[in-house]
Structure 1
Amino acid sequence: MQWTLAATEQPPEWFIQAVKNYTPASSGLYAAQLLWQRGIQDKSQLEGFVNYKTYQPASPFEFGEEMHLAVARLQQARNAGEKIAIWGDFDADGITSTSVLWDGLGQFFVQNIQLSYYIPNRLKESHGLNDSGIDNLAKQGITLIVTCDTGSTNIDEIIYAQKLGIDVIVTDHHTLPAERPPVSAIINPRNLPNEHPLFNLSGVAVAYKLVEALYQTLPDIPKHPLEDLLDLVAVGLIADLVQLSGDCRYLAQLGIQRLQEDFKQPPTARRRPGVGRLLELCQKSGDRPTDISFGLGPRINAVSRIQGDASFCVELLTSRDVKRCNELAEDTELANARRKSLQKDVQTQVAHKLTQLDLSTTSAIVIADAQWPVGVLGLVAGQVAQETGRPTILLSTEVAEEQGSSTSTALSAQGAVGEGEDEEMGKKTPHTPHTPSSPLARGSARSVNSVDLYQLVKDQAHLLHRFGGHPFAAGLSMLVENIPLFTEAINQRLRQSLGGKMLTPTVQADIAVTVADLGKDLFLELKVLEPCGMGNPVPKLLIQNCWFENAWHRNQQDSQGKKVQYIKTDFDIRDDSSRNAFPGIWWGHYKDELPIGRCDCIAELDYNTFKKRYEIRLIAVRPSANSLLTTQHSELIFDWRNQEHSELKTQNSTLIIEECPNSWDDLRAWWKRCVYNHQQLAIAWTKPHQQPPNQIWLTLVGIAKYLSRTNQLVTRVQLLDKLGIGDQTLLMGIRALKYLGFTLQRQDNYLRISQEPENASQTQADAAVAKFLAAVREEQFQREYFAEVPLSTIVAMVNSQ
């Protein structure tokens, strides 16, 4: 992993002072550096960036004639009493888009009578319109479809809908087709110049602009203010990872404010009790963009990833029924817990398969498995791509055939893909006919390092059944038999485009800070940059020459208290700048993955609403270049084995270990204790005098007979000391005793041993005793080894994890 630090050009003093007006509790220097390096370099830009009240949003009618056409068609539908269907999508942007139109158009059309909505099933259907869904809407008497977050390239399906007497209004933000589709209107910011303030709108924001235009055209009809939709707009915008500039940033700022205001209300008084309950379940308060990107967004996305059908999420976001919303929020939370568990399982399996690849000769990673659930492959592919620095394609071969997809749709593309948005599979190629006897593999691809993944996949269209996406992400399916050819072809193509260069995973920090800098003041200073997103990422902080203490990990639990196979490590971080430690978390990692000794790390500063504390969220960590433990010999570990060291025992700064270990884990545990307490470690054991294993077994049997006869109690520690063995070996000895008729019962911290007639066969007893003797011999061998192992080996091994 290559680490880089962004160029830290010192901003002029007048700019630092201007920023300080917004950060009165701190110098404003860090925020000024970040804003300056991100292109905010004059006072008017700064004011518009920080204070949304000074920003002048664009009119919805800047979409031009298309917006006028859409409003006119909706007015016509209202006057004629037509039935309208909203056609949404199953990701967070699509669900919030549908919800905005459901609430917004619901002011002009009676919900569930004139107005309905349809969300495709992620596991059975593609993104976008499809013929079978259109057939169902025609049977219900629908005469107008309003799409959101989808539809721009569904030419054939739009023509099919027209044949059935259904008009289509498209609201979308994905790639446009070469020619305007035959629709009543198409509202898509890709029609605008790149520099236009509306150009980066996500699907939910485009849907909002349509509702805004309708509010302005028919101002006397709506009963609820337009601003009530802004919280949903913020959720979709931030979850979709679009560039938060122009109107995107303005709408997100307003929406987060609405989200926070509603959450502060009692549950029964909230406008959106479902959103409030979801925030409670993920222990957020709705005042941070990360509450969406790490809280609401993943949970909304998880429903379709796990269940396929995410239709109930619209009810969750829009219903006022508190009881019903609580039930739906619990279902959503459980789906997310299941998603985490599945994602971790697949991640572990992919990591194992990666060990079988030679990454030095692999430019693009392609891995397939019959057991992988399709819904989480994009998430895992993104993680692998980041860790390896290589485009990654993960395929599931369990899918026998695709259902619900149209027979032929044009290419489609989406905005940046992360936890908040998945790729489209928009194009069905004619080159690979699919029959039940030729099963399909289906999966997701993610890219890094500016590799145009979409073009890479598109170049192999002749091997694919269906594909679609954009430069950073793609969805694809192909015949299972084509996977080897596809893998070889894209690797060859990528090697050619790279000119023989190898890709390297990179992570960039924005500013360097110390542990003393961390806390409320720095948090509030950096909050000036929020909401963060594409083009304005959360500041990454480089902390050098630090170390970790009090690390512990645990499995997460779902809302029913069941363990989820998803790990979180808690820790304290220290450096020489302060006597005080600072708390932090590392999602998806075990505590043993933290390096021992001095480190460098990259992290984000956050506020934990649940624990009411400031903390860092670890992004990357590595041993520090100047760590003493990276050298072959260490001044922090002394070798006093078989030496007289009684005079040195008075040194409080040294932890002296006189007990010979029998595993590296024991040594690492002692070393961690030294690091935590700023102590040196002295290994001071002598060569052990060990009894023969048979004699230890006879001693254990003798103790058991004595205790059963006298009815005395014994502790585990007493047994270990008397026998000179470890915990696991003692456990095997106790099992062997059971075959001789001994039973053991716990009484608080003591053991009671009694003897009854033998029931087990002699063969079982002999096997159990043999296992115990083998364990004793292995333990004794390890102690003999540690009595003589070189200090240089000890230094290297304790520093290896």
Structure 2
Amino acid sequence: MWSNEPHQDKHKAPTSTPHHSLSLQNGSKAKKGLTMEQLPSLSASSWSVYTPLTKTQFEEFRAAGIASLHAQLLFNRGVITPEAMRRFLAASFDEIPDPLTLIDMDRAVERISRALDEHEHITIYGDFDADGVTSAALLTRALRKLKHANAALDYFIPHRIEDTRGVSRESLEKIHTRGTSLLITTDCGSSDVAEVEYARTLGIDVIITDHHHPPEQLPQAYAMINPWRPDCTYSERYLCGVGIAFKLAQALLRAYGREEEVLELLDLVAIGTIGDVAQLLGENHTLVKLGLKQLDATTNAGLKALMQLANLQPGRRRERDISYALGPRINAAGRMKHAGIAFELLTTDDEAEAQAKARELEELNQARQLITEELMKRVREQAQGQEGNTVVLVYGAKLEWPEGIIGLVAGKLSEEIKRPVFVLSQDSETSRGSARSSGDFNIIEALRERADLFERHGGHAQAAGFTIVNTNIEALHQHLLTWQGNGSNGNDGGDGTEPVVEAVVPPDLTGVVTEQEIVIPTYFRKVDLVITKPETQLTYDAYTKISQLAPFGAGNPEPIFRLDGLRIARRWVSGPEGRHLRLRLRINGTQFHGTYFRAGSQIESFSEGTLVNVIFSLELAWNPPDGEGRKDVWLKIVDMQVVG
């Protein structure tokens, strides 16, 4: 039974910490090159606890068939009505919004159908991150089903370094020479007003599919499918690029009486949506949940080859496999060479080609990991000289600080030092920068206040990208150190509005998800429930109920719990270089196993016999064949405090 009111269990060790907040003081292991003073740990901040539902609320949800645990967790995530909870749990494809309710969808379907009927040359124009690549691949696969065998269908994805991001005049001229008469963008185009007009003068019709906030003046495209258009009334605004591409594919296949075939493309939707760190609520949640199932049954030769190389087991693939295995490999193409490699992997039906492309991505990702670690050493060294700075800005020569890696490095360093980080890759006259926030520092608002310093910039509260003349770098750093604007630690624009992406250039947000075992961003430091009866609340049945809310990610974080008064029966280190702390914990005659990630160096702080308060998520310890053995859970510890 899940308690609706936090209270002190009489068998637990007393604690003076109120249940609405818990301040934990034990630090995490310092990274090489930084002292503990420079590296405030995750534990150094307070955890707040969501307000428990009232008895009346629990009764209302139970009457609607919603389990108490589901009701509390979903309410914590902003899913607050019984009907919304039912839809979330059902995750039914039949209940997602009709694609034709997206603005300009009917015009897009009409124009593409005409192009297919007349065997026109169609070009798909993507972007070089996971969302841009998967959305371009998805539309290519959909159109390949419908086009005439001899009709031309190709793609264009800009090079991360050599080309301009988004639609450019130079790319349009290249596409024009191919004979393209219809250009369909994915994950880009909303801000390219002049470029779309230039395409018209070349005789190219442009259909934009995008999810970035458009400028006040919209491009005069043949059709512009973007839920953030002010004249769009579509109910699901948080679809990312691959989600918008999927809706177009759904409408197109429906027009040809083949709508059921769109389900085959859901695996790409899952990869692109998770890779773009989109909110996993509403339609996104449904599409990704169904997409993960499709991933297990995929017929996509490229995905099968990539998953085999990544050692992902069939039937056990989860959202974290995309975040930490598939996504980084797909992104490695654009970071290290060209995103076209990943696109061709995802669109080929030839198994030999798929295996060759997958091996190439594997090699690029391994090289990316080595370069990232080398660059991390350099940025840590520079950061050491900025101990007292509230914002860290580091930079180096382009050859040693690759532009494709600086976003990852900024995210990793920000996680380590718990401060906003700006990393710049310098050329002879200008630098490209990538920024990641920490706490309530609103990066895009800080950049907007000195927009005069930049050649271009874009992003949101937590991440941004920019180009700056080298002579302006010091002025930027001084501005950041003294900036006192209104912060926002979510994804909004600092005033409660939705996230705003600058019209100048879409931000480089790849790398927002840092490739670590567990990352709890500052704005996720909330406990869903305080456990008062662990023997009945922390069970396999509870784990099963929690897993029904998956996939977890932005907007729908993995549920976090708190349990006070556990006694350490045994502890030992595990993992590479003793990085992690393993524990056997007891309370009220019940024993739990747990792992405190990246806390191996603190083993002496947690003596056997000590009482501790623990913040954790619940994991499955063993998954035997049906009917064989006992199914246990373990605690994935994210914070721990010695009592007293």
Q: TM-score category by the smaller chain?
A: 0.7 to 0.9
Corresponding position of 1:592: 601
Alignment of 1:263-662 (within 5 A): 270-280=298-308, 281-285=310-314, 287-307=317-337, 309-359=338-388, 362-370=389-397, 371-397=400-426, 400=427, 438-492=428-482, 494-495=483-484, 497=486, 507-513=525-531, 520-542=540-562, 544=564, 545=566, 549-554=571-576, 569-577=579-587, 580=591, 582=593, 584=595, 586=597, 589=598, 591-592=600-601, 596-597=605-606, 602-606=615-619, 620-621=638-639, 623-626=641-644
8 Å Cα contact 2:50-2:526 kept in structure 1:
no
1:485-505 deviation line (CA, Å, top 9, x unaligned): 11002222x23657xxxxx96
Measured after TM superposition, the shift of residue 202 of structure 1 is 0.8
Corresponding position of 2:30: none
Alpha-carbon distance between aligned partners in 1 of 2:395 and 2:221, rounded to the nearest angstrom: 40
Equivalent residue in structure 2 for 1:62, among 94, 98, 101: 101
Is 2:263 the counterpart of 1:227? yes
Measured after TM superposition, the shift of residue 256 of structure 1 is 1.9
Let me know the Cα RMSD of the aligned residues: 3.3
Are the structure 2 counterparts of residues 320 and 363 from structure 1 closer, same or farther at C-alpha, using a change threshold of 3 Å?
Answer: same
Are the structure 2 counterparts of residues 528 and 323 from structure 1 closer, same or farther at C-alpha, using a change threshold of 3 Å?
Answer: same
Measured after TM superposition, the shift of residue 193 of structure 1 is 7.6
Are the structure 2 counterparts of residues 287 and 192 from structure 1 closer, same or farther at C-alpha, using a change threshold of 3 Å?
Answer: farther
Alpha-carbon distance between aligned partners in 1 of 2:469 and 2:157, rounded to the nearest angstrom: 27
Are the structure 2 counterparts of residues 617 and 274 from structure 1 closer, same or farther at C-alpha, using a change threshold of 3 Å?
Answer: farther
Are the structure 2 counterparts of residues 509 and 495 from structure 1 closer, same or farther at C-alpha, using a change threshold of 3 Å?
Answer: same
1:619-661 deviation line (CA, Å, top 9, x unaligned): 74455253xxxxxxxxxxxxxxxxxxxxxxxxxxxxxxxxxxx
8 Å Cα contact 2:101-2:234 kept in structure 1:
no
Alpha-carbon distance between aligned partners in 2 of 1:348 and 1:248, rounded to the nearest angstrom: 37
Alpha-carbon distance between aligned partners in 1 of 2:52 and 2:328, rounded to the nearest angstrom: 36
- What is the letter of the counterpart of residue 556 of structure 2? N
Alpha-carbon distance between aligned partners in 2 of 1:497 and 1:201, rounded to the nearest angstrom: 27
TM-score calculated relative to the size of structure 2: 0.77
Corresponding position of 1:680: none
Alpha-carbon distance between aligned partners in 1 of 2:468 and 2:149, rounded to the nearest angstrom: 41
By relative contact order (CA 8 Å, sep 6+), the higher-ranking structure is 2
Is 2:40 the counterpart of 1:2? no
Alpha-carbon distance between aligned partners in 1 of 2:333 and 2:563, rounded to the nearest angstrom: 37
8 Å Cα contact 2:130-2:272 kept in structure 1:
yes
1:520-567 deviation line (CA, Å, top 9, x unaligned): 43321211221223222121234555657332332xxxxxxxxxxxx8
8 Å Cα contact 2:190-2:212 kept in structure 1:
yes
8 Å Cα contact 1:299-1:336 kept in structure 2:
yes
Measured after TM superposition, the shift of residue 209 of structure 1 is 1.0
Alpha-carbon distance between aligned partners in 2 of 1:609 and 1:312, rounded to the nearest angstrom: 38
Alpha-carbon distance between aligned partners in 2 of 1:610 and 1:111, rounded to the nearest angstrom: 47
Are the structure 2 counterparts of residues 346 and 12 from structure 1 closer, same or farther at C-alpha, using a change threshold of 3 Å?
Answer: farther
Are the structure 2 counterparts of residues 241 and 583 from structure 1 closer, same or farther at C-alpha, using a change threshold of 3 Å?
Answer: same
Measured after TM superposition, the shift of residue 452 of structure 1 is 2.7
Alpha-carbon distance between aligned partners in 2 of 1:448 and 1:39, rounded to the nearest angstrom: 23
Are the structure 2 counterparts of residues 464 and 250 from structure 1 closer, same or farther at C-alpha, using a change threshold of 3 Å?
Answer: same
- What's the secondary structure of 1:444's corresponding residue? strand
Measured after TM superposition, the shift of residue 55 of structure 1 is 5.9
- What's the secondary structure of 2:583's corresponding residue? strand
8 Å Cα contact 2:108-2:207 kept in structure 1:
yes
Alpha-carbon distance between aligned partners in 2 of 1:164 and 1:146, rounded to the nearest angstrom: 15
- What's the secondary structure of 1:576's corresponding residue? strand
Are the structure 2 counterparts of residues 603 and 306 from structure 1 closer, same or farther at C-alpha, using a change threshold of 3 Å?
Answer: farther
Corresponding position of 1:243: 279
1:460-498 deviation line (CA, Å, top 9, x unaligned): 222222222222211112222321111002222x23657
- What's the secondary structure of 1:77's corresponding residue? helix
Is 2:224 the counterpart of 1:186? yes
Alpha-carbon distance between aligned partners in 2 of 1:301 and 1:16, rounded to the nearest angstrom: 47
Measured after TM superposition, the shift of residue 47 of structure 1 is 1.4
Aligned residues: 549
Alpha-carbon distance between aligned partners in 1 of 2:409 and 2:227, rounded to the nearest angstrom: 30
8 Å Cα contact 2:227-2:233 kept in structure 1:
no
Are the structure 2 counterparts of residues 366 and 170 from structure 1 closer, same or farther at C-alpha, using a change threshold of 3 Å?
Answer: same
8 Å Cα contact 1:469-1:475 kept in structure 2:
yes
Corresponding position of 1:753: none
8 Å Cα contact 2:61-2:68 kept in structure 1:
no
Corresponding position of 1:774: none
1:588-626 deviation line (CA, Å, top 9, x unaligned): x47325563155554443458999997768574455253
Give the number of the structure whose residues are more often helix, by fraction: 1
Are the structure 2 counterparts of residues 41 and 100 from structure 1 closer, same or farther at C-alpha, using a change threshold of 3 Å?
Answer: same
- Whose Rg is larger? 1
Are the structure 2 counterparts of residues 531 and 552 from structure 1 closer, same or farther at C-alpha, using a change threshold of 3 Å?
Answer: closer
- What's the secondary structure of 1:105's corresponding residue? helix
Alignment of 1:180-219 (within 5 A): 180-191=218-229, 196-219=234-257
- What is the letter of the counterpart of residue 5 of structure 1? S
Where do 5+ consecutive residues of structure 2 fail to align?
1-43, 488-520, 626-630
Bigger shift: 240-249 or 35-44? 35-44
8 Å Cα contact 1:363-1:495 kept in structure 2:
no
Is 2:136 the counterpart of 1:146? no
8 Å Cα contact 1:570-1:584 kept in structure 2:
yes
8 Å Cα contact 1:197-1:247 kept in structure 2:
no
8 Å Cα contact 1:11-1:32 kept in structure 2:
no
Corresponding position of 2:124: 86
Alpha-carbon distance between aligned partners in 1 of 2:634 and 2:470, rounded to the nearest angstrom: 44
Are the structure 2 counterparts of residues 282 and 458 from structure 1 closer, same or farther at C-alpha, using a change threshold of 3 Å?
Answer: farther
TM-score calculated relative to the size of structure 1: 0.62
Alpha-carbon distance between aligned partners in 2 of 1:326 and 1:19, rounded to the nearest angstrom: 50
8 Å Cα contact 2:584-2:594 kept in structure 1:
no
8 Å Cα contact 1:602-1:619 kept in structure 2:
yes
- What's the secondary structure of 1:550's corresponding residue? strand
- What's the secondary structure of 1:605's corresponding residue? strand
- What is the letter of the counterpart of residue 329 of structure 1? A
8 Å Cα contact 2:420-2:441 kept in structure 1:
yes
Alpha-carbon distance between aligned partners in 1 of 2:233 and 2:416, rounded to the nearest angstrom: 33
Measured after TM superposition, the shift of residue 306 of structure 1 is 2.4
Are the structure 2 counterparts of residues 479 and 590 from structure 1 closer, same or farther at C-alpha, using a change threshold of 3 Å?
Answer: farther
8 Å Cα contact 2:116-2:148 kept in structure 1:
no
Alpha-carbon distance between aligned partners in 2 of 1:20 and 1:327, rounded to the nearest angstrom: 55
Are the structure 2 counterparts of residues 37 and 193 from structure 1 closer, same or farther at C-alpha, using a change threshold of 3 Å?
Answer: farther
Alpha-carbon distance between aligned partners in 1 of 2:155 and 2:205, rounded to the nearest angstrom: 15
Alignment of 1:115-130 (within 5 A): 115-130=153-168
Alpha-carbon distance between aligned partners in 1 of 2:357 and 2:594, rounded to the nearest angstrom: 34
